[in-house]
């Protein structure tokens, strides 16, 4: 193996991107995240790793066909010849520089795998290892990864790079490009894009254009063309009005929504606020709205106006409104999931196709949404009058799965269904369709044209705030609903999230999709006894994957009880898991 390039990479690292921090840094739920001023060496090294990952992966048309559905727009192409061109090439990898909803001074990096998914688990450990090597070890670690992964260095490598709007992002992107270039990878710099756009570009590239065109124009035109068609088909909008107030979190979501808006013509009126002149994610954006449970600054409070908020890299979406009494109402990821699943279920029923539809949630899903799915969302109806084996077989509940936090877990589980709807309560999610669904024979496909068209409005590669918003709008219009109609489906249980600062968050270990904690001993028993004192009580704790804290979640019958339960659980965590500073206060 000719490892001269690794020595060159080591020298460049030492000279331009020396390791500043001796603290261990870990590739977590969404890559590396930290204060931006310590990240240059980490991101330079992720540029190096992306090249190795690209050389290590080959794309096979068969793999792609089973994991991503095609765009009907490009389906007419002769796939055999299109696919033949790139089968033997190395796969394109994505490298995104963003810290999403974190404050502006933070930044981060994550790699996107060939099918647009999150980086494979085993490579997360390689990323952690490479990031934590000393400057002089760097070349050896590169050589070792190359050897153990059986990478052929003579193969080409291609990396797509994107970044969010943070002030530090151009500098960090330059570090990544240096890493890619020194290992002779071919870099394509997309500049400022949303995270889901980068996932989309990677997927388009690795499917030889089958999923769409890997350009901004390709992305906007794929989403907007079908959206306009779908909305144009609905002649009776009922209570639906095509007007939206959009909170862009002062980030890339605002910039890209402006571009998308142009392509949507007059199919929908979107007024954009927090469009970039203020501070990123500061008192605005999806995370602020979800955690604080209030409207963002900068969006006018018009009674019952349908408002949308996205996070700093536009992969999360929430709806909200304030009513005529100035009361704030949030429609979170659970609402989006149930709305979309309910509608897809109706389309499946109408089409009479045997497709299984499932929903994937996390422990954060509101208890009412889970009840709603269990009791209301089902195919067929069950009445005692007709209860026999035949009628029971027509009645199918929509299965709901619960998995640990983090998109990769949800996405993975959703692949088990023909139509997998997955959303985190925080607004991150999408719908994925199996090959069975996306390659329906044309006569059946005609019966489900609308279902087929919906596939094209959805960015299946990852949760995408812009595409999810179009999907919600299609469903609301088809239902003839305004935002109050949508909220009537069920009433959320009051809920509260708290953070506890501890010496080492690894003191907490969880099981059962994070709903129970094994460690420290005795904490789960304490939580159980607290929960038992509250009507409709539920609580869990988990170590954050993105910040050095432990998160506490609680639900109960009233907001006051919920706040009390959350505070009591937080106090127990502080006491039993090495809390730092003052113990959490009990609300009076
Ligand atoms: C990341 C995850 C998100 C998850 C959040 C939890 C991805 C792309 N993003 O933002 O899905 O909800 O982390 O953060 O996986 P936490 O571990 O700090 O609670
Ligand atoms: Mg995000």
DSSP state letters, 406-426: SHHHHHHHHTTSSEEEEE-TT
- Please choose from 545, 548, 549, 550 the residue to mutate so as to test ligand 1's pocket, defined by most ligand atoms within 8 A of CB: 545
For residue 326, the domain's CATH number is 3.40.120
Ligand 1 site, residue 100, Cβ cutoff 6 A: yes
Structure tokens that stand for 73 in this block: 């727009």
Domain match, 466 and 360 both: yes
Which residue reads 């066909």 in tokens?
A: 65
Task: Sort strands 396-397 and 317-322 into parallel, antiparallel or unpaired.
Answer: unpaired
Domain match, 112 and 37 both: yes
Q: How far apart are the first and last CA of the chain?
A: 68
Summarize the annotated binding site for Mg(2+) as residue ranges: 100, 311, 313, 315
Decide if 587 is inside a domain. Answer: no
> Pick from 331, 350, 251, 239: which is nearest to 298 by CA?
251
Sign of CA dihedral 170, 468, 235, 233: positive
Domain total of the chain: 4
* Whole-number pLDDT of residue 73: 31
Please provide the size of the chain in residues. 588
* Whole-number pLDDT of residue 59: 72
Which residue reads 């939580």 in tokens?
A: 527
Residue 376 to residue 350: CA distance in whole angstroms:
17
Range of the domain at 411: 333-488
Q: Are 304 and 324 in contact (CB under 8 A)?
A: yes
Sign of CA dihedral 514, 515, 516, 517: positive
Domain match, 186 and 275 both: no
SS3 of 117-172: CECCHHHHHHHHHHHHCCCCCHHHHHHHHHHHCCCCCCCCCEEEEEECCCCCHHHH
Residue 501 to residue 503: CA distance in whole angstroms:
7
- Please choose from 26, 27, 28, 30 the residue to mutate so as to test ligand 1's pocket, defined by most ligand atoms within 8 A of CB: 30
List Cα–Cα distances, 444 to 5, 232, 394, 399, 448, in angstroms: 54, 22, 20, 25, 7
Query: From the alpha carbon of 546, which atom of ligand 1 is closest?
Result: 18
Domain match, 140 and 126 both: yes
Q: Write the CB contacts of 200 (distance below 8 Å, at least 6 apart in sequence).
A: 116, 211, 212, 214, 219, 459, 461, 464
Query: DSSP strand E in 182-258: where?
Result: 186-192, 243-247
* Whole-number pLDDT of residue 80: 32
Ligand closest to Cα of 315 equals: 2
Decide if 291 is inside a domain. Answer: yes
Decide if 160 is inside a domain. Answer: yes
Residue 469 to residue 457: CA distance in whole angstroms:
10
Q: Are 9 and 48 in contact (CB under 8 A)?
A: yes
Domain match, 164 and 231 both: no
Decide if 582 is inside a domain. Answer: no
> Pick from 473, 448, 443, 445: which is nearest to 458 by CA?
473
Cross-strand partners of 360: 401, 422
DSSP 536-567: T-EEEEEE-SSSSSEEEEEE-SSHHHHHHHHH
Residue 242 to residue 8: CA distance in whole angstroms:
56
Write down which residue in 309, 331, 353 finishes a domain. 331
Domain match, 147 and 240 both: no
Domain match, 289 and 152 both: no
Residue 359 to residue 371: CA distance in whole angstroms:
13
Domain match, 475 and 347 both: yes
* Whole-number pLDDT of residue 442: 55
* Whole-number pLDDT of residue 465: 98
Domain match, 325 and 337 both: no
For residue 527, the domain's CATH number is 3.30.310.50
Decide if 583 is inside a domain. Answer: no
Domain match, 528 and 442 both: no
Q: Where are the alpha helices (DSSP H) in 39-98?
A: 40-56, 61-67, 72-75, 79-84
> Pick from 462, 546, 467: which is nearest to 162 by CA?
462
Decide if 84 is inside a domain. Answer: yes
Task: Sort strands 357-361 and 328-331 into parallel, antiparallel or unpaired.
Answer: unpaired
Give the count of beta carbons closer than 10 Å to the beta carbon of residue 538.
19
Write down which residue in 447, 462, 488 finishes a domain. 488
Q: Tell how far the Cα of 283 is from the centroid of ligand 1, in angstroms.
A: 19
For residue 202, the domain's CATH number is 3.40.120.10
Decide if 585 is inside a domain. Answer: no
List Cα–Cα distances, 488 to 287, 329, 335, 491, in angstroms: 24, 11, 11, 7
Q: Write the CB contacts of 124 (distance below 8 Å, at least 6 apart in sequence).
A: 27
* Whole-number pLDDT of residue 232: 86
* Whole-number pLDDT of residue 71: 45
Write down which residue in 488, 507, 541 finishes a domain. 488
* Whole-number pLDDT of residue 477: 95
Decide if 107 is inside a domain. Answer: yes
* Whole-number pLDDT of residue 355: 84
Residue 27 to residue 399: CA distance in whole angstroms:
32
* Whole-number pLDDT of residue 1: 57
- Which 3 state secondary structure label does DSSP give 85? coil
- Among 69, 100, 168, 368, the one annotated catalytic: 100
Domain match, 471 and 535 both: no
Q: Tell how far the Cα of 205 is from the centroid of ligand 1, in angstroms.
A: 26
Ligand 1 site, residue 453, Cβ cutoff 6 A: no
Cross-strand partners of 433: 419
Ligand 1 site, residue 163, Cβ cutoff 6 A: no
Domain match, 356 and 459 both: yes
Q: Catalytic annotation on 368? A: no
Task: Please name the residue whose Cα sits nearest to atom 11 of ligand 1.
Answer: 406
Q: Are 64 and 206 in contact (CB under 8 A)?
A: yes
Spans of the chain below 70 pLDDT: 1-2, 60-89, 379-396, 438-448
Task: Sort strands 328-331 and 317-322 into parallel, antiparallel or unpaired.
Answer: antiparallel
Cross-strand partners of 320: 307, 330
Give the count of beta carbons closer than 10 Å to the beta carbon of residue 325.
6
């Amino acid at each position: 193996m000719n490892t001269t390039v690794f020595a060159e990479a080591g020298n460049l690292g030492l000279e331009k991107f020396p390791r500043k921090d001796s603290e261990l840094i870990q590739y977590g739920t969404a890559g590396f995240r930290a204060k931006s001023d310590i990240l240059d060496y980490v991101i330079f090294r992720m540029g190096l790793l992306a090249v190795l990952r690209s050389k290590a992966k080959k794309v096979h048309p068969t793999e792609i066909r089973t994991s991503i559905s095609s765009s009907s727009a490009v389906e007419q192409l002769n796939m055999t010849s299109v696919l033949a061109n790139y089968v033997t090439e190395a796969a394109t990898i994505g490298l995104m520089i963003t810290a999403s909803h974190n404050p502006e001074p933070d930044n981060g990096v994550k790699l996107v795998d060939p099918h647009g998914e999150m980086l494979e688990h085993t490579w997360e450990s390689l990323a952690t290892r490479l990031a934590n090597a000393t400057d002089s070890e760097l070349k050896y670690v590169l050589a070792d990864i190359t050897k153990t992964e059986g990478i052929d260095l003579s193969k080409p490598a291609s990396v797509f790079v994107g970044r969010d709007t943070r002030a530090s992002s151009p500098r960090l992107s330059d570090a990544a490009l240096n890493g890619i270039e020194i290992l002779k990878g071919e870099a394509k710099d997309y500049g400022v894009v949303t995270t889901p756009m980068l996932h989309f570009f990677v997927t388009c590239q690795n499917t030889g254009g089958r999923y769409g065109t890997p350009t901004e124009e390709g992305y906007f035109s794929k989403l907007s063309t079908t959206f306009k068609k779908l909305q144009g088909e609905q002649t009776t909008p009922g209570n639906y009005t095509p007007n939206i107030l959009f909170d862009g979190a002062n980030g890339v979501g605002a910039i890209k929504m402006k571009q998308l808006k142009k392509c949507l013509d007059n199919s929908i009126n979107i007024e954009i606020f927090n469009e970039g002149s203020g501070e990123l994610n500061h008192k605005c954006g999806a995370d602020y709205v979800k955690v604080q449970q209030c409207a963002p600054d900068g969006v006018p409070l018009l009674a019952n106006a349908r408002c949308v908020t996205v996070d700093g890299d536009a992969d999360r979406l929430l709806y909200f409104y304030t009513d005529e009494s100035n009361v704030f109402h949030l429609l979170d990821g659970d609402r989006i999931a149930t709305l979309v699943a309910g509608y897809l279920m109706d389309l499946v029923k109408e089409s009479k196709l045997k497709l299984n539809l499932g929903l994937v949630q996390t422990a954060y899903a509101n208890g009412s949404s889970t009840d709603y799915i269990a009791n209301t969302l089902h195919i067929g109806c069950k009445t005692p009058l007709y209860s026999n084996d035949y009628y029971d077989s027509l009645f199918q509940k929509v299965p709901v799965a619960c998995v640990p936090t983090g998109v990769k877990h949800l996405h993975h589980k959703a692949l088990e269904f023909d139509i997998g709807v997955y959303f985190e309560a925080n607004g991150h999610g999408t719908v994925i369709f199996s090959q069975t669904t996306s390659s329906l024979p044309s006569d059946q496909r005609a019966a489900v044209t609308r279902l087929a068209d919906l596939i094209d409005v959805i960015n299946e590669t990852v949760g995408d705030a812009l595409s999810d918003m179009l999907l919600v709008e299609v469903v609301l219009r088809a239902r003839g609903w305004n935002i109050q109609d949508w909220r009537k489906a069920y009433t959320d249980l009051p809920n509260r999230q708290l953070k506890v600062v501890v010496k080492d968050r690894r003191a907490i270990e969880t099981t059962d999709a994070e709903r129970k904690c094994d460690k420290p001993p005795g904490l789960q028993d304490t939580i159980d006894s607290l929960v038992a004192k509250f009507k409709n009580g539920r609580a869990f704790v988990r170590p954050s994957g993105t910040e050095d804290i432990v998160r506490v979640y609680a639900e109960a019958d009233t907001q006051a009880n919920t706040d009390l339960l959350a505070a009591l659980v937080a106090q127990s965590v502080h006491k039993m898991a090495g809390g730092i500073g003052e113990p959490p206060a009990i609300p009076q």
